[in-house]
Amino acid sequence: MLFDLRSGKRRRVVQVVFGFLAVIFVVGFLGFGIGGETGGGGILDAIGLGSDSGTGNPEFDDDIEKAEDTLATDPEDEKALLTLAEVHYQSAQFKLQSDPESEDAKTDFESSLDAWERYLETKPKKPDPGVAAFAAQAYVQLADADGAATAQQIVADDNPSSGTYANLAFYRYAAGDIEGGDEAAKIAVSEADDTQREQVEKQLAQLAEQATKLKQQAEKQAEKASKDGGEGAAPIEDPFGSLGGLGGTAPTTPGAPAPAP
């Protein structure tokens, strides 16, 4: 897992919440196979651990070069920006297969999100939900829960389902946005089928409770440290802990669409 941790009280709160919720989510939520309808795979896919980037040796440079040539002429070419966002993301995932701590992969994730954010600056009428799913995963790789939530909102708007909104709730809780997480969780529960609704509601309620407690704890620690002349709670070097080296494929709901190429 690759993380670009920043300083500041809010970032420290995010780190504490994100780290704990990641563990809770995987061992609890995924343990029951819930949350698979992401529009881009299950939650492991959504945090960059389960997507299938292929087993060959793809060449990404040509696609990147062509897109950059187009952008040199037209910096706001939406298709070229989307291509850069997607190809850099795929390149990063490919590199992580051989080296989970690859700095080159981190650079690719950053380049992917740079292209994605430039694409959003063009104010597209309907942001591409397939590339948004990749962007959400890239944001998680860089420990940016706010960014992940923003991208996942696009995915959920395009494909409203229990899974897409459960992931959105997770990202919002991880960012310390309890109210926003509750709103997404409510939709996730309403979209769940009858056989899973109670279970989805229970799991998301547990996430909300833990997120609230952790946010309060982190804010108290930051406040105390500030009064003592410190900088607040120490940042978590790796918010996802032991999850960083995991692979495999998350359970998915049959018929769930894959990200658009």
Per-residue pLDDT of the chain (261 residues; tens, 9 = 90+): 444 444 455 555 555 555 555 544 443 444 334 444 444 444 444 433 344 444 444 679 999 999 999 999 999 999 999 999 999 999 999 999 889 888 999 999 999 999 999 999 999 999 999 999 999 999 988 888 899 999 999 999 999 999 999 999 988 988 889 999 999 999 999 999 999 999 999 989 988 988 888 888 877 877 777 777 655 555 444 333 322 322 333 333 333 333 333
Structure tokens at 153: 């909102």
CB 167 within 8 Å of CB 38: yes
Whole-structure pTM value: 0.72
Q: Which CATH class is domain 9-52+59-236?
A: mainly alpha
Rounded to whole angstroms, how far apart are CA atoms 133 and 94? 17
Parse the chain into domains and list their residue ranges: 9-52+59-236
| Buried/exposed 203-240: b ≥16 CB within 10 Å, e otherwise | bbeebbebbbebbeebbebbeebeeeeeebbebbeebb
